[in-house]
Amino acid sequence: MIMFSGTHWAVLVVTCLLCITMPVWVRQRPDKADVIRRTLAWTLIVNIVIYQFYRIAAGYWSASTDLPMHLCAWANVVTALALLTRKPLFAEIAWCWGMTGSVNALITPQLDNPFPEVPFIYFVIGHTGLITAVCTIVFGFDIRPRPGAWLRVMVASQVYFLSAIAVNAITNANYGFLDPMDPFRNQTVLAAFPNDGIWFYVTFELAGALLFGLVLLPFRYSEKR
């Protein structure tokens, strides 16, 4: 999927429409709310599982590229847990990870496969479906970030980063795009980060902290009102 091609624009438009209509549908049809909630959750989980089997069956699977260790994969799992359990903690993490990392990945896709190939479908469900589910949790089921959400999300993010760094060291991978020398970073907003390892990670943390604060800001405003 070429960035800002006709297909990409179609995916972006569909994503926006779903993010508006799904929360409204949940509010207007409370009798269908549980069905919608479970359907969204299991769609995200099954999408990850099917893609793993697809990569294995095709003979492409590799520990350095196919483990569900990118932040968006973790966001899919956390979002599914938020839908299934309705726990505010999962909803807070899902909102911050989905509205920052997953939105950026959807706007700047790195995907060579066109529709209807399996990687394309996996990517769209894992990003469009994820962002739709996050908006449905927050605005449809009204499970919104609470005071102190920023700190909790930052702690959860450190768990992810440390896990990704450990897996990267073992598998020689680049999960989380945490390698400051990886050429892929030049095709994303990470190109603005310094090449030096220490300062790359510091900048990465600061950028994440700032973005989490920005996407949580509307809820702080509503609390004060």
Tell me 97's DSSP state.
H
Specify if 174 maps to a domain.
yes
Mean pLDDT of the chain: 89
| The pair of three-digit structure tokens given for residue 173, joined into one six-digit string | 């991978």
Looking at residue 186, its pLDDT comes to 55
Specify if 1 maps to a domain.
no
The more confident residue out of 12 and 184 is 12
Specify if 141 maps to a domain.
yes
Please tell me the total count of domains within the chain: 1
Looking at residue 184, its pLDDT comes to 59
Percent of the chain, pLDDT > 70?
90
Contacts of 128 (CB under 8 A, 6+ apart): 11, 14, 15, 18, 106
Distance CA 195, CA 121 (A): 33
Distance CA 212, CA 175 (A): 20
- What is the arithmetic mean of pLDDT over 46-68? 95
Specify if 139 maps to a domain.
yes
- What is the arithmetic mean of pLDDT over 160-187? 81
Specify if 11 maps to a domain.
yes
Looking at residue 223, its pLDDT comes to 55
Specify if 82 maps to a domain.
yes
Specify if 173 maps to a domain.
yes
Q: Which domain holds residue 79?
A: 6-224
- What is the arithmetic mean of pLDDT over 137-156? 95
Specify if 198 maps to a domain.
yes
User: Where residue 113 falls among pLDDT bands split at 50, 70, 90?
Assistant: confident
* Residue 87, Ramachandran bin (φ over 0: left; ψ between -120 and 50: alpha; else beta): beta
Looking at residue 222, its pLDDT comes to 57
Q: Which helix (H) or strand (E) holds 27?
A: helix 6-28
User: Where residue 221 falls among pLDDT bands split at 50, 70, 90?
Assistant: low
pLDDT at 85 over 80: yes
